[in-house]
Structure 1
């Protein structure tokens, strides 16, 4: 399931390429025809990511809420950029130079190939982003024909976004959006930093629930999924089964600040990069391969990178939990 950094990157694609443009909305598969008709022809006024959910506002006062879930993905095509991460000051926050993500795999991170993409390019954004250059007689066709079961298509004059397989795709009123947002925990990239930290600390310190479950609870904190959960707990050297109320306050605060750091880094790079202080060669490998970018996630049975103890894996809350029995004792 896409974690918070992916959804923020998707929202920034919409902000860069679809905002303030009249959009044609349709449902090629037919399952969202009524909802698409309510938004068709209107301008997008805001693209907001909160945790794993995205909210797109339109000038008729309605919103499109999308939760990708396990199988959802957005495909972008047209005059789009390979990386739409833009800072609040209007500059580029970072670019991804990993295999399969930029047009020219050998290009430097500040090259034209990694910054932009020609019309024939398609970008898929889900948990793993891929960018390809279409070939064949229809390579320059715009808009490209829908491929597969497209729930909703948003079409501008120079860009198109196709949504497939989401857990949720619905039109909401402003009041319904507020209800939906009220159910979500704080997001470091959305909420006031101090207020958000205090809210997170207060909730965690009251709960008898294991901290490994609390970090996955979207009403406690937005955006953390299975990868970030395992990595945050290891980086804090925290035993995953510790009840939230027994985790020292300074550790809870450190967890929040580390989540802020990792989420920001994920938005910048497009990867859940959770290992720090890497040399240039290790950093390159980490961006290119998942196996080289995490401390414990997906490493069950392999030696811990710090102490050599075999990484453990267990089912907790219906998800796989990875941790080091020694460093997180």
Structure 2
């Protein structure tokens, strides 16, 4: 055995002892991976130690090669064993950290309830979507054009006095009805259309038991070839019967700038007639404003206040109860 062979054997033996000791004291998987690269990587210490094999006599190289494999296998086995142990310890630590003591009493969280306004909106929209209507929404801050002009309200039209409007300093306004979305929807879509529009609206109104400056509306709009007042009446009848059951319904002539002819609709509820919505055939001027040909298309629209329906359905005596967040009231629903 040459002196060079003896030195290489001693170097390999020392490398194995050093590596095994370092692996045994590794505390994390990251440290372990660093040791793997340090000892067994392409530029690791084992590869560097073997760099001198080319200087050995040919008859001594097989023995050094076998010793090298032993060192490599020993280090690899220690790495695998240590990795398994560290992974198991990591999983155990995670389990202990995430353990839930099911014997401990849980934290009480009161169950939420659907607000009567939301439930009324959902109930109405379920009926209309079942009839093939699409739900659409739009901005609550509007321009005079969408809120009035496009809906056949001329600047000096007396009907503007019917809706005391909240104007903003920039010339815009808070919408007084959800009919604004009907105009926006027709501008973006060609007939035939069926759309239901829920949303919050604003009017300068004195707050009392039946009035609020902020309230909610749902309006529907249908435009197609050949639609008549009979289609409107049938739609309203189906909707009201779904909401109130088999109750008497009556239509009374009325006036709205954006529909002609127009009607108010009442239902007989608990022995008296209650006004619940307004409706009518879309005025030809409204169709012209959005580029529809009134000689080809006709349409109908209807709208109602959500608060009115909610108060009737739940026998609520004061509209302000819907807004004051009194849990004694809300827990009833």
Normalising by the residue count of structure 1, what TM-score does the alignment of the two structures yield? 0.22
Normalising by the residue count of structure 2, what TM-score does the alignment of the two structures yield? 0.22
